[in-house]
Amino acid sequence: MFVQLLTFHSPYFNSDKAIEIKDDPTNVFDDFLQIAHGVRGTILLYRALELLKFAKTYNLSHVIQLVDQKTKLECWRIEIFIPDAIEYGLDHWMAYFLREQGTSEELAGNLKGKNVERMSGEMMKKCVKRFFEFVIPNKHFVC
């Protein structure tokens, strides 16, 4: 039944691919299925990355967006998750991270070596905008 409901959200489930559901003592896949169907609950940090992996595997962008929004609302410190934010396109997460940076040097240091060439265009625009805000203070830039 879950797979029938998911066909609405993802072409992955419209194919003939077999989906193996294993016993999961942490119930992360159960949480993923609930989120995929619109149930909004608490997303714990150690589960967020697993949820994102399932969402990417099954091509469910709305789950990625929900996890992105929820984690931003939880105000998690995200500096250590920059590669994941880039990998999954977590725009809200990145915006929160950028606001937390105090100087252009701090921002550059945190982004150094983080595979920024894989950023979405929207993320890259936000980073450039933030650099300009540091370099040219008291100007209002629109992204």
Contact 58, 10 (CB under 8 A): yes
pLDDT at position 1, please? 44
Distance between CA atoms of 93 and 75, rounded to whole angstroms? 9
Tokens of 125: 């625009």
* Residue entry with tokens 């149930």: 39
**Low-confidence stretches of the chain (pLDDT beneath 50):** 1-2, 78-79
- What pLDDT digit, counting tens, does each position of 59-91 carry? 888 889 888 887 776 655 544 578 888 999 988
| Domain range annotation of the chain | 2-135
Contact 113, 81 (CB under 8 A): no
